[in-house]
């Protein structure tokens, strides 16, 4: 009996030690939570709002449109199947069937569809997996945008940047099974990692971004600039520039492998043949859009006006971004925007998809957040929110192409 009592008494120091460690861990978690609480809660409020509204619209209209995967349970019908449109279908096809050369899917980079393929084993539902990846990536992206904006602009500017992104007219693609949220998370991660001197991690994130969306390769420019600044201050050696070369080589190797084993047809030819898109001179897509805008007065083609307007607004704010933000941010903004200005969409929509591509121009949200700190200027969030709601209705009901 005494021996058992001694054993119990001997456990007390361990119990106290465990309690101390739990208390110490809680002391570390609490400040971290306070730093990310606003973007985390804001993101999930918008996620909940869009999901409930999409379910309501599905119940109300019971829309029918082409689908690739079909899950008939009530949850899938109201919270998953109604998000299966356009590019989402292609990502699911690649995840399930792999790449083929007969339908144009070879233009899509591999990271997102293969993440779906790998992680779908956990749920058995490919569409649920696709939505989960985008949702978690979106939450990470919003948190990173919040932290970066607060650091670069001023305290509390991050709140406005987050609200602007989440209520942006095309923000529904940030919550859909598309690559916007994943790409933005990788891109913002590059800046956070590089700013903290973790250039190896930044290099990996550039590769992941470039293999999520090919224009992610422009991230080597701000990464190279940040490395150069560290070299000048003698924080790292010149050998660190290898982290700029590795992503470029990685993308070139992938494109070579694509031509050897996936599709020998050059990407630009696939774009022309299957997607009616091509590469032109910078701004040609804007000029072509000006010619068709007068013919896009039908509400179903309102997206042409929206794509044009959002692109022009971002372009007009770019000089202010160059003037006000550190060079690594405007370097990303200018180079990414330049690549987008080279892409000419179909004849009926030369700027097709441009509205959602503006979600990736995060320096734009940073600079806008600085200029709408006054309560009166924050009213811009109201029309943005209503436009995003309208876009969701168009997307879910299938009233036109909004991709």
Q: List the chain domain ranges.
A: 66-397
Cβ atoms of 211 and 251 closer than 8 Å: yes
**318-372 pLDDT, tens digit each:** 999 999 999 999 999 999 999 999 999 998 889 999 999 999 999 999 999 887 7
**Percent residues over pLDDT 70 in the chain:** 89
Give dist(CA 233, CA 231) in Å, integer.
5
Cα separations in angstroms, 135 against 32, 349, 377: 21, 29, 29
Would you state the pLDDT for residue 148? 96
Mean pLDDT of the chain: 89
Res 14 pLDDT > 60: no
**390-402 pLDDT, tens digit each:** 999 988 987 666 6
**Percent residues over pLDDT 90 in the chain:** 67
- What lies within 8 Å, CB to CB, of 360 at 6+ separation is 180, 183, 184, 187, 213, 336
**110-162 pLDDT, tens digit each:** 999 999 999 998 888 999 999 999 999 999 999 999 999 999 988 788 999 99
CB atoms within 10 A of CB 33: 11
Query: What is the maximal distance between C-alpha atoms in the chain?
Result: 94
């Amino acid at each position: 009996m005494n021996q058992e009592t001694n054993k119990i008494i001997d456990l007390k120091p361990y119990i106290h030690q465990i309690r101390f460690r739990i208390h110490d861990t809680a002391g570390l978690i609490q400040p971290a939570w306070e730093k990310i609480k606003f973007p985390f809660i804001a993101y999930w409020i918008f996620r909940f709002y869009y999901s409930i509204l999409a379910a309501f619209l599905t119940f109300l209209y019971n829309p029918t449109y082409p689908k690739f995967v079909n899950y008939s349970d009530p949850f899938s019908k109201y919270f998953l199947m109604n998000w299966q449109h356009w590019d989402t279908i292609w990502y699911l096809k690649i995840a399930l069937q792999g790449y083929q050369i007969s339908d144009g899917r070879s233009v899509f980079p591999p990271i997102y569809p293969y993440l779906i393929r790998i992680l779908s084993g956990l749920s058995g539902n490919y569409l649920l997996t696709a939505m989960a990846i985008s949702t978690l990536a979106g939450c990470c992206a919003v948190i990173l945008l919040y932290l970066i904006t607060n650091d670069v602009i001023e305290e509390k500017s991050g709140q406005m940047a987050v609200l602007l992104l989440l209520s942006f007219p095309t923000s529904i693609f940030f919550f859909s099974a598309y690559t916007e949220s994943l790409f933005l998370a990788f891109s913002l991660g590059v800046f956070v990692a590089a700013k903290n001197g973790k250039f190896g991690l930044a290099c990996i994130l550039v590769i992941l971004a470039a293999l999520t969306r090919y224009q992610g390769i422009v991230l080597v420019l701000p990464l190279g600039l940040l490395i150069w600044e560290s070299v000048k201050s003698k924080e790292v050696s010149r050998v660190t520039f290898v982290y700029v070369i590795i992503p470029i080589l990685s993308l070139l190797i992938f494109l070579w492998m694509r031509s050897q084993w996936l599709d020998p047809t050059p990407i630009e030819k696939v774009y022309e043949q299957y997607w009616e898109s091509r590469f032109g001179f910078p701004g040609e897509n804007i000029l072509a859009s000006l010619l068709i805008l007068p013919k896009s007065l039908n509400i179903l083609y309102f997206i042409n006006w929206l794509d044009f307007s959002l692109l022009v607004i971002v372009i007009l704010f770019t000089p202010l971004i160059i003037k006000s933000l550190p060079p690594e941010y405007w370097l990303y903004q200018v180079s990414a925007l330049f690549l987008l200005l080279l892409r000419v969409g179909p004849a009926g929509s030369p700027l097709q998809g441009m509205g959602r591509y503006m979600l990736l121009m995060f320096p734009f949200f940073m600079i806008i957040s600085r200029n709408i700190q006054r309560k009166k200027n924050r009213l811009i969030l109201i029309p943005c929110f209503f436009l995003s709601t309208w876009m969701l209705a168009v997307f879910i009901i299938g009233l036109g192409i909004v991709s």
